[in-house]
Structure 1
């Protein structure tokens, strides 16, 4: 395989990752709505630890476990950030409608 073929395969994987990241974010927003209804905190450290442990257990490499944790920390952190932003926007909308 030449460099251009490899890059095309990487581009295809990037497209898949983009769809996966956004689908994961949509699901995180659904969980955020449920957490709000149930009056649960956005941050669940035990859940995050379980995610990272599971990813390390399933990691076939070549990325080492530290790299996997850092990648998933970023994904989870962005999901949490999105939950907070969305929650604040919804609270602002509720305040405006109740005035």
Structure 2
């Protein structure tokens, strides 16, 4: 049981490391979305751009190397896009 606990702890440490990286990248992405939102507001452009969303999701899909995870990653990315739109709306 001790060996399994050590292995579990090591895997959890890896998850914690990856989580910190994800958070850092999400912060960067949201800050860029804010900049885009400011530009859109200044130029009276719509926040929602269906063509761009399809393009982004297509790029995400093409980047996924483990296609068994495709549904999960696409679902997560849809939330990322939705939150980016919300942050732009709040500008």
Taking structure 2 as the reference length, the TM-score comes to 0.87
| CA distance in structure 2 between the partners assigned to 1:41 and 1:52 by the alignment | 19
Count of matched residue positions in the alignment of Structure 1 and Structure 2: 86
Q: Say what the alpha-carbon RMSD is for the aligned residues.
A: 1.4
Alignment partner for residue 61 of structure 1, among 57, 66, 90?
Answer: 66
Alignment partner for residue 8 of structure 2, among 3, 11, 16?
Answer: 3
| CA distance in structure 2 between the partners assigned to 1:52 and 1:68 by the alignment | 10
Alignment partner for residue 19 of structure 1, among 24, 27, 32?
Answer: 24
SS at match of 2:44: coil
Unaligned runs of 5+ in 2: 1-5
Displacement of 1:13 in angstroms is 0.4
Alignment partner for residue 50 of structure 2, among 34, 45, 63?
Answer: 45
Once structures 1 and 2 are overlaid, which stretch shifts more, 30-39 or 61-70?
61-70
| CA distance in structure 1 between the partners assigned to 2:68 and 2:23 by the alignment | 19
Indicate the structure whose relative CO is greater, using CA pairs within 8 Å and at least 6 residues apart. Answer: 2
Taking structure 1 as the reference length, the TM-score comes to 0.80
Unaligned runs of 5+ in 1: 88-99
Q: Confirm whether residue 70 of structure 1 aligns to residue 75 of structure 2.
A: yes
